[in-house]
């Protein structure tokens, strides 16, 4: 039954461009991040911390995100309502989490940014498959959001005072609407939302962000030793191969034995002229028969090991300034000149340690987040349809 529902939703999504009346509103990216007045009960919290649909790697601005919905972004998912004039012909239960219903339209609304990106990327039969995966991922994100909100509601020691919410809203009004609440309400009207609906959803987004900071982000610790060990275990990841600055003259060998003999003589004559001191660049412009001829046969800096074995072997034998003999490779004849050489090296630890630390932090954040969600699921009622 659930598979049929998903397939039906995908069918509906695929048909949306045909029915323009079904699609309305404008969506945008994540809201500005605010960092004022964290509640004392959840120290170090900030509603702008983290990213994603309730998790470490989701989509910002989506329901379940750690960034609250911003009404200055019309049509932004997470606002809890649909754009005026939008019709949703497909709806029903998508999931129930601790008595909270997540509808199909909730999921479709939340996946709108992903849907747009998929439509711009895929134009074949894989689109339906990608949309199905996006639907499932978005539904999982919304379920995780409800698990977090249920957890907050069950913890009597947690509190999010109205004064904190009002302070954050005041910042939005001040920064996004020139301190004009009437402008805020105009945007909410276009979204088909009341101020109370938006405020409630904004509060929930704050709760998700604050709890994720408390339960996940604040517990991520990456030691200098762990960064060093990751660098040493990376193997060739930070090895920079030898680089050669190369020019080449390329002569096509022709289709018959007679043509091949003539082309070989032409190449040998060019090689003799080069040996006599003529400019490699000028001869390449005159005689080379490949697309680099106009640039004087300049290939730039290359890793010789990325070329055919015959070419790599020949290039590695040349010192800077040397010109190769005529080298037959497949249907072509090559003459090379090496103009520069950079020996193989390893990127210093100091250069990459910050990127390694960030990578380890992302992995640890994901691990802690997943473990937290699994703990929340153990005491929750979840049903997917």
Give the tens place of pLDDT for each residue, 280-300: 999 999 999 999 999 999 999
C-alpha 272/C-alpha 372 separation (Å) is 73
State whether residue 78 is helix, strand or coil. Answer: coil
* Amino acid 95: pLDDT: 96
Residue 320 has phi, psi (to 5 degrees) of -60, 125
Note the pLDDT of residue 82.
37
Q: Which CATH class is domain 2-223+359-384?
A: mainly alpha
Residue with tokens 């996940």: 216
Coil, helix or strand at residue 47: coil
Question: Do 50 and 217 touch, CB atoms closer than 8 A?
Answer: yes
Comparing CA positions, the residue from 41, 245, 272, 300 lying closest to residue 161 is 41
**Which pair of tokens denotes residue 101?**
């219903």
The beta strand positions in the chain, using DSSP E, are 93-97, 100-103, 239-240, 243-252, 298-302, 327-329, 332-342, 345-346, 382-384
pLDDT of residue 157: 84
Paired with 93 in beta bridges are 103
Rounded (10°) CA dihedral 342, 344, 348, 351:
60
Domain spanning 242-343 has what CATH number? 3.10.50.40
Domain ranges of the chain: 2-223+359-384, 242-343
Alpha carbon distance 83, 60 (integer Å): 19
Longest dimension (CA), the chain: 92
Give the tokens for residue 156.
């009597």
SS3 7: helix
Q: Do domains 2-223+359-384 and 242-343 have the same CATH topology?
A: no
**Euclidean distance between CA atoms 34 and 171, whole angstroms:** 8
Q: Under a CB-based contact definition with an 8 Å cutoff, are residues 96 and 147 in contact?
A: no
Under a CB-based contact definition with an 8 Å cutoff, are residues 48 and 166 in contact? Answer: no
What is the structure's pLDDT at 90? 58
pLDDT < 50 stretches in the chain = 3-8, 10-89
| pLDDT of the residue at 254 | 85
Residue 33: which of 65, 78, 63, 80 has the closest Cα? 65
**Cβ atoms < 10 Å from Cβ of 74:** 16
Chain centroid offset of residue 326 CA: 46
Residue 104 CA: distances (Å) to CA of 27, 100, 121: 19, 13, 24
Distance CA 113, CA 107 (A): 12
The model carries a pTM of: 0.62
Provide the CB-side half-sphere exposure for 26 (13 A, CA): 9
Helix (H, G, I), strand (E, B) or coil at 51: coil
């Amino acid at each position: 039954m659930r598979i049929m529902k998903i397939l039906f939703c995908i069918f509906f999504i695929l048909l949306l461009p045909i029915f323009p009346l079904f699609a309305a509103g404008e969506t945008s990216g994540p809201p500005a991040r605010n960092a004022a007045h964290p509640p004392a009960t959840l120290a170090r919290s900030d509603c702008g911390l983290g990213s994603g649909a309730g998790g470490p790697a989701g989509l910002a601005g989506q329901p379940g995100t750690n960034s609250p919905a911003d009404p200055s972004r019309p049509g932004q998912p997470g606002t809890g309502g649909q754009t005026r004039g939008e019709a949703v012909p497909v709806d029903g239960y998508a999931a129930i989490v601790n008595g909270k219903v997540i509808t199909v339209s909730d999921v479709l609304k939340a996946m709108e940014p992903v849907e747009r990106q998929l439509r711009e990327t895929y134009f074949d039969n894989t689109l339906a498959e990608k949309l199905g995966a996006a639907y499932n991922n978005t539904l999982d994100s919304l379920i995780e959001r409800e698990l977090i909100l249920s957890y907050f509601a069950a913890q009597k020691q947690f509190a999010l005072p109205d004064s904190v919410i009002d302070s954050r809203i005041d910042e939005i009004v001040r920064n996004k609407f020139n301190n004009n609440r009437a402008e805020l309400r105009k945007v909410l009207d276009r979204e088909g939302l009341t101020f109370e609906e938006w405020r409630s959803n904004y509060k929930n987004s704050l709760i998700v962000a604050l709890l994720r900071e408390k339960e996940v982000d604040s517990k991520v610790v990456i030691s200098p030793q762990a960064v060093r060990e990751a660098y040493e275990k990376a193997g060739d990841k930070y090895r920079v191969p030898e680089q050669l600055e190369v020019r080449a003259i390329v002569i096509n060998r022709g289709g018959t034995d007679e043509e091949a003999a003539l082309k070989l003589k032409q190449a040998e004559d060019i090689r003799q002229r080069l040996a006599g001191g003529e400019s490699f660049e000028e001869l390449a412009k005159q005689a080379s028969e490949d697309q680099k001829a106009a640039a004087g046969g300049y290939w730039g800096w290359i890793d010789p090991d990325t070329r055919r074995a015959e070419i790599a072997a020949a290039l590695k034998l040349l010192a800077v300034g040397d010109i190769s003999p005529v080298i037959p490779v497949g249907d072509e004849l090559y003459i090379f000149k090496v103009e520069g050489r950079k020996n193989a090296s390893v990127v210093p630890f100091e250069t990459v340690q910050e990127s390694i630390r960030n990578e380890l932090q992302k992995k640890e954040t994901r691990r802690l987040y997943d473990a937290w969600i699994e703990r929340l699921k153990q005491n929750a009622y979840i049903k997917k349809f």
